[in-house]
Chain A
Amino acid sequence: DIQMTQSPSSLSASVGDTVTITCRASRSISGYLNWYQQKSGTAPKFLIHTTSTLQTGVPSRFTGSGSGSDYTLTISSLQPDDFATYYCQQSYSSPPTFGGGTKVEIK
């Protein structure tokens, strides 16, 4: 199984900041990297598909990039609605596996 490692596990930031979350796969996943946002007590929301394709309705301040085994999610000009936990997930091979999550908190 492909292991997904996210860092940091948590971060504190202010409204307007730019934050970057990284996700590393245990081997190359050829761009099959997805990002989800989860707010407390709710289901995850699908944000980005295959590295960089924003889902409908996702603000353009969210950017995904990467290749091979290393990927990043960047949130520019952090907004109050962005404080949440973010998960990466690989869909390159079965079983699909998730990272451990990154909690973005208000500083």
Chain B
Amino acid sequence: QITLKESGPTLVKPTQTLTLTCTFSGFSLSTSGTGVAWIRQSPGKALEWLALGYWDGDKRYLSSLRSRLAISEDTSKNQVFLTLSNMDPADTATYFCAHRGGDDDAFDVWGPGTMVTVSS
């Protein structure tokens, strides 16, 4: 059974860097085809894909946020990290991590999400 869970600060100040952790179980990031994505949802808004780290080390980012985003992993701990620098109130959102398990970028299992508020 695949599970994922996000963790990190609930409140950050403008200009700070956000670091979120996705702790997962039930799969290995070394398995061909797998990946972990980060997706966010601002209050009352639609889902917005941010980044995806693949089993082969490839990493993809939303182009509009590329300069601020980084995804990394600690495979020994089954964790994937997302950093988003220079936080702004517009980054206030629930952040989800999700499992990519097939041949395309569909996300079959999601974590419950973590709400991050950006405010001074």
Question: Do A and B make up one complex?
Answer: yes
Q: Is B112 in the interface zone, CB < 8 Å from A?
A: yes
Partner of B107, one of A38, A42, A46, A97: A46
Contact B63 A34 (CB under 8 A): no
Q: Kindly report which residue of chain B lies nearest to residue A98, judged by CB atoms.
A: B47
Closest CB in chain B relative to A38 CB, distance in Å: 8
- Nearest CB on B from A78, distance (A): 22
Q: Does A77 contact B (CB under 8 A)?
A: no
A97 to B108, CA, bound (A): 15
Q: Which parts of A25-61 form the interface with B (CB within 8 Å)?
A: 32, 34, 36, 38, 42-46, 49-50, 55
Q: How far is A98 from B111 in the complex, measured between Cα atoms in Å?
A: 18
Q: Is the interface of A mostly helix, strand, loop or mixed?
A: loop
Per-residue CB proximity of B100-113 to A under 8 Å, as 1/0? 00101111111111
B106 pairs with A44, CB closer than 8 A: no
Give chain A residues whose Cβ lies under 8 Å from the Cβ of B106: 34, 46, 49-50, 89, 91, 96
Interface residue count for A (Cβ, 8 Å)? 25
Contact across chains for B105 and A91 when beta carbons are under 8 A apart: yes
Give CA–CA (A45, B52) in the complex, Å: 18
A46 pairs with B49, CB closer than 8 A:
no
Residues of A1-44 whose CB lies within 8 A of B: 1, 32, 34, 36, 38, 42-44
Selected from A32, A44, A94, A98, the residue in CB contact (under 8 A) with B48 is A98
Q: Is there contact, CB below 8 Å, between B49 and A96?
A: yes
